[in-house]
Amino acid sequence: MKKQFPFVSALIALIAASYFLVPLYATFQFSLQMIRGKWSFAAYQSVFSNDQFLATLSYSAVVSLMAIIVGALVVVPTAYWVRLRLPKIRPIVEFISLMPLIIPPVVLVFGYIRLFGSDSWLPMTISEQGTNTLLVIGYVVLSLPYMYRAVDNGMAVIDIATLTEAAESLGASRLRTVAQVIFPNVRSAIMSGAFLTFSISLGEFVLASLLNRPAFGPFMVQLGQDRAYEPAAIAILSFGLTWVCMALMQLFGSRKPGQRWLPRFTQPSSRSATP
């Protein structure tokens, strides 16, 4: 019997897709109308020729990469230890990891300024390096729900107890087990969380603005107040960059965790020296 085409499902999918694609097309069309009477990429050329665009984009990219590294170094050992030794407190850790979704970023950044301002016991905002560090910490906190969920789901499909016992039986320390066994086996999960972190941090506005950092988010807002067509071009570029991150996340996420080999740890030879 020939299977009928699912018209209702296709219609619902088409309506849902048009909800996103029609405004996107309208924004793209508007970005091409900078020169009156014809379509051109003049708005995109104006954006790329702006020195502040490249400076803010590179700054946000570096800060986002730092947030990814710090987030992975914090989340992976935490999720590993909770699953291996402290399963009873896992609901508490999951609740804490969801707190950034509840607390607004403006409250978070004002708390940072209050705790680490010029009058505090650890004045980090008085120096540029300290403020950059605060911004990285803020991005790590904002991306914590996504990074922790990705890593925790990755560890759920591998037998970390067996991997730990095998590594320890070969003479590996706990730190080496995490670095050379657990990290490679949840690499795809870490990459998924990394791309989500990058997408969130790249266009973030509140933290970067209130900490007075030259990030990409405040630049987009300022450009939207001063220009007409360039903000639409940046919106399309940001959307494309986000979709590239999502595609890469799908690419790395399609790889099954646990396909890495267990490293060979050096053991003392049991054979006696040749006389």
pLDDT at 2: 63
pLDDT over 80 (residue 159): yes
Residue 193 in domain: yes
**Once rounded to an integer, what is the mean pLDDT over residues 202-221?**
90
In a domain, 231, yes or no: yes
Could you tell me if residue 30 is inside a domain? no
Look at residue 1 and tell me whether its pLDDT is greater than 70: no
* SS3 track for the chain: CCCCCCHHHHHHHHHHHHHHHHHHHHHHHHHCCCCCCCCCCHHHHHHHCCHHHHHHHHHHHHHHHHHHHHHHHHHHHHHHHHHHCCHHHHHHHHHHHCHHHHCCHHHHHHHHHHHHCCCCCCCCCCCHHHHHHHHHHHHHHHCHHHHHHHHHHHHHCCCHHHHHHHHHHCCCCHHHHHHHHHHHHCHHHHHHHHHHHHHHHHCCCHHHHHCCCCCHHHHHHHHHHHCCCHHHHHHHHHHHHHHHHHHHHHHHHCCCCCCCCCCCCCCCCCCCCCC
pLDDT in tens, 55-105: 998 999 999 999 999 999 999 999 999 998 888 999 999 999 999 999 899
Supply the pLDDT for residue 271: 43
Higher-pLDDT residue of 267 and 91 is 91
Domain total of the chain: 1
Tens-digit pLDDT profile for residues 179-210: 888 888 888 888 888 888 888 888 889 999 99
Residue 212 lies in a domain: yes
Tell whether 13 is covered by a domain.
no
- Say if residue 255's pLDDT is above 60: no
> Higher pLDDT residue, 178 or 2?
178
CATH of the domain at 158: 1.10.3720.10
Mean pLDDT across the chain: 84
Inside any domain, residue 92: yes
Structural domain of 222: 44-253
More confident position, 248 or 107: 107
Q: What percent of the chain has pLDDT over 70?
A: 90
Residue 18 lies in a domain: no
Q: Is the pLDDT of residue 139 over 70?
A: yes
Q: Is the pLDDT of residue 275 over 50?
A: no
Q: Give the range with max mean pLDDT: 73-82, 112-121, 152-161, 173-182.
A: 73-82
The answer to whether position 69 is within a domain reads yes
